[in-house]
Amino acid sequence: MLLGQIPTGSIQLIVTSPPYALHFKKEYGNVEKREYVDWFKPFAREIFRVLSPEGSFVLNIGGSYNPGSPTRSLYHFKLLIMLCEEIGFHLAQECFWYNPAKLPSPAEWVTVRRIRIKDSIEYVWWLAKSPFPKADNRRVLTEYSADMKRLIERGYRAKDRPSGHKITHKFQKNLGGAIPTNVIERGNNESNSGYIKRCADAGQKPHPARFPAALPEFFINFLSDSGNIVLDPFAGSNTTGAIAESLDRRWLAFENEARYVENSRLRFEGFLA
């Protein structure tokens, strides 16, 4: 395992999406649900070791149905419990990737028998080596809503909300943007991205399970500084490395399949000359 060659405590941020325990396997192979936690454990130990004391581990993982049954597997929750209770990670926050364009699946339950609804989120466990990892939400502010902009302009009468929250005058101060929620909304087709266009031009198939650039971009800005090292140990097309580079971070990426490593060069225009 390449992780074994990385010095202890040298990595500020790990953003990754390992193969999920899917019922219908992807072309690069997926681990069985019942084996998943044991399969991931050696990676988890190394990930914990290589992270700096203020480092974060951001793990994107999809849920899955139990084979032949309209019930959900608990494998990703078991994984989270193992990471916290056996490896020693702290759960800094559970975040979600909301993909409104996700296809309805499994067809049997959702579109044929119509007894389940469309699944549109994936889990993004934000884990850390300590309860206080490096983080600054001022670096990921979003645009204020129209209501909030109006409020800042016109002012707000301090009052207690029915919920018990006290809304003070500080509320109307313009702090440069809204604090983002723990739901990151983005499709994963990114059909206009440079990577997809370059794959088409080169006659190559894009990686079949990319996450959207917005995902690593958000966490790299939020949880690391310029010059820090960002690692993706299941890199696929190396979305993480390309975004890290564009944000002036150093990066490392590991991938099992040589064809994906070769194809990931298309994310870096400079290599194409």
Ligand X SMILES: C[S@@+](CC[C@H](N)C(=O)[O-])C[C@H]1O[C@@H](n2cnc3c(N)ncnc32)[C@H](O)[C@@H]1O
Q: What is the CA radius of gyration of the chain?
A: 21
Q: Please, what is the minimum distance in Å from the beta carbon of residue 53 to ligand X?
A: 25
What φ, ψ does residue 93 adopt, rounded to 5°? -170, 145
Q: Indicate whether 144 belongs to the interface with ligand X (CB under 6 A).
A: no
Cβ-proximal residue to ligand X, closest one: 236
Please, which residue, 53 or 194, has the CB nearer to ligand X?
194
* Secondary structure of 123-175 as H, E, C letters: EEEEEECCCCCCCCHHHHCECCCHHHHHHHHHCCCCEECCCCCEECHHHHCCC
- 49-to-87, 92, 110, 166, 216 alpha-carbon distances in Å: 10, 18, 42, 43, 21
Q: Please, what is the minimum distance in Å from the beta carbon of residue 160 to ligand X?
A: 45
Cis before 106? omega within 30: yes
Q: Indicate whether 237 belongs to the interface with ligand X (CB under 6 A).
A: yes
Per-residue b/e over 220-244, b at no fewer than 16 CB within 10 Å? bbbbbeeebbbbbbbbbbbbbbbbb
- Out of 28, 123, 156, 268, name the contact with ligand X by CB under 6 A: 28
- The Cα 243–Cα 267 span in angstroms is 9
Please, which residue, 18 or 55, has the CB nearer to ligand X?
18
Q: Please, what is the minimum distance in Å from the beta carbon of residue 142 to ligand X?
A: 23
Query: Are the C-beta atoms of 43 and 18 separated by less than 8 Å?
Result: yes
Please, which residue, 109 or 218, has the CB nearer to ligand X?
218
Site for ligand X in 199-218 (CB under 6 A): 207, 209-211
Q: Report the 10 Å Cβ neighbour count for 175.
A: 11
- The Cα 15–Cα 125 span in angstroms is 10
Q: Please, what is the minimum distance in Å from the beta carbon of residue 124 to ligand X?
A: 12
Please, which residue, 111 or 189, has the CB nearer to ligand X?
189
| SS3 assignment, position 17 | coil
- Out of 19, 55, 106, 241, name the contact with ligand X by CB under 6 A: 19
Please, what's the largest Cα pairwise distance for the chain?
62
- Out of 93, 111, 145, 256, name the contact with ligand X by CB under 6 A: 256
- Out of 77, 144, 156, 260, name the contact with ligand X by CB under 6 A: 260
Q: Indicate whether 98 belongs to the interface with ligand X (CB under 6 A).
A: no
Stretch in the footprint of ligand X (CB under 6 A) among 63-71, 123-131, 166-174, 230-238: 230-238
Q: Please, what is the minimum distance in Å from the beta carbon of residue 237 to ligand X?
A: 3
Q: Indicate whether 17 belongs to the interface with ligand X (CB under 6 A).
A: yes
- Out of 46, 54, 122, 255, name the contact with ligand X by CB under 6 A: 255
Q: Indicate whether 236 belongs to the interface with ligand X (CB under 6 A).
A: yes
Binding residues (CB under 6 A) for ligand X: these are 17-19, 28, 207, 209-211, 234, 236-237, 239, 254-257, 260
